[in-house]
Amino acid sequence: MKTYNSIRKGRKALPALMLAAIMLIAVLLPGCNAGSAGKAGKPDAEATPFLPGISGSIELPDDDFTDNTPLPEPTQAPTEVPEEFFESRTYSFIDDAALFKICGRSETTDKGTTCDWSAGGFEINAYCRGDISVKFGVTGSNFLAVFVDGERLEEDIYVKNTNTVVVKDLPAGRHHIEVYRQSEVREGRLLLKTLTLNGQLEAQPAQKSRYLVFVGDSISSGFGIHEKTANGVSSHVDATMAYPFLTARELDADVDVVAVIGIGLVKGYVTETMGKVFPLIDYYRSTKNSYSAARRPDAVVVNLGTNDATHSSDPAQFKEAAKALIDQIRTVYGADVPIVWVYDSMRADHHKYTLEVVDELAGAGVNITALKVPMDSSAAGHPSAAAHIKDKDVIVAHLKELLKW
**Residue 184, C-beta contacts closer than 8 angstroms, at least 6 positions apart:** 118, 218, 221, 222, 223, 237, 239, 259, 260, 261
Do residues 132 and 197 lie in contact, with contact meaning Cβ atoms separated by under 8 Å? yes
Please state, for a pLDDT cut of 70, what percent of the chain lies above it: 79
Pairing of strands 210-216, 108-109: unpaired
Instruction: Over range 243-258, report the average pLDDT.
Output: 98
C-alpha dihedral (129, 133, 134, 139), degrees to nearest 10: 150
What are the tens digits of pLDDT across the range 116-153?
999 999 999 999 999 999 999 999 989 999 999 999 99
Distance CA(220)–CA(376), nearest Å, equals 13
Pairing of strands 143-148, 163-181: antiparallel
Do residues 233 and 379 lie in contact, with contact meaning Cβ atoms separated by under 8 Å? no
Which of 234-238, 293-297, 309-313 is predicted least confidently?
A: 234-238
Which of 228-237, 296-305, 312-321, 365-374 is predicted least confidently?
A: 228-237
Distance CA(97)–CA(112), nearest Å, equals 10
Distance CA(225)–CA(242), nearest Å, equals 8
Distance CA(175)–CA(395), nearest Å, equals 31
Q: Is 388 left (phi over 0), alpha (psi -120 to 50) or beta?
A: alpha
* pLDDT class of 3 with cuts at 50, 70, 90: very low
Residue 60 pLDDT > 50, yes or no? yes
Residue 71 pLDDT > 80, yes or no? no
Residue 241 pLDDT > 50, yes or no? yes
Distance CA(313)–CA(330), nearest Å, equals 24
* pLDDT class of 67 with cuts at 50, 70, 90: low
Do residues 226 and 237 lie in contact, with contact meaning Cβ atoms separated by under 8 Å? yes
Instruction: Over range 72-81, report the average pLDDT.
Output: 72
- 49 or 157, which is more confident: 157
Nearest to 178 by CA among 151, 217, 160, 206: 151
Q: What does the DSSP 8-state code read for residue 153?
A: -
* pLDDT class of 59 with cuts at 50, 70, 90: low
- Give the CB-side neighbour count of residue 72, counting CA atoms within 13 A: 3
Which of 63-77, 193-207, 211-225, 342-356 is predicted least confidently?
A: 63-77
Do residues 131 and 170 lie in contact, with contact meaning Cβ atoms separated by under 8 Å? yes
Residue 344 pLDDT > 50, yes or no? yes
- What is the per-residue pLDDT for 84? 87
Residue 392 pLDDT > 90, yes or no? yes
What domains appear along the chain, each with residue ranges and CATH number? Answer: 84-201 (2.60.120.260), 210-403 (3.40.50.1110)
| Dihedral sign computed on CA atoms, order 329, 335, 337, 338 | positive
**Residue 270, C-beta contacts closer than 8 angstroms, at least 6 positions apart:** 186, 260, 261, 262, 263
* pLDDT class of 12 with cuts at 50, 70, 90: very low
Nearest to 46 by CA among 61, 54, 57: 57
Nearest to 274 by CA among 210, 194, 328: 328
Which of 155-169, 228-242, 261-275 is predicted least confidently?
A: 228-242
